[in-house]
Amino acid sequence: MQNLSEQTLAAIGRMTVASTDLEYLLAWIGADRAGGDAAAVFAKPGEPLVAARGSVQFAAVGVRQELVAAVEAAATQLALSQSALRRLWRDDSPADPAVFDEITGRLVSFREWLATFVAAAVAGEGAVRPG
């Protein structure tokens, strides 16, 4: 791995916090798999996504497919952030903090949308499309 500037390390930290916040929301979505305890789901690496995927399979028919797609979109966002971080271990990959900040922005926006979407689905208000 290359030496990273303080700006890059800070950007990676922001991205890590944003992806972890998205994972916590996924843990909340999947909490029924742990007796309603989102913290228990969150405590096990990888479990928030697994639990959310399982949980949305039991959503009301009218929103199930949209919830499944939303959880899969969250998985994609998390995979993109992991991929960006892991590229640093390749010697030829640039360590531009702007790349990590761009991913952070997407993670934060997606997390906000997902929280709104899930709240609307739970309240029976139907789908909320991303802005």
Going from N- to C-terminal start, the domains of the chain cover 6-122
Q: Whose CA is closest to 126, among 48, 38, 66?
A: 66
Those residues whose C-beta lies under 8 Å from the C-beta of residue 27, and which sit 6 or more positions away, are: 38, 39, 41, 42, 47, 48, 51, 52
Task: Give the pLDDT of residue 1.
Answer: 57
Q: Which residues of the chain have pLDDT under 70?
A: 1-2, 91-92, 125-131
Task: Give the pLDDT of residue 90.
Answer: 79
Task: Give the pLDDT of residue 94.
Answer: 72
64-88 pLDDT tens trace:
999 999 999 999 999 999 999 998 8
Predicted model pTM: 0.88
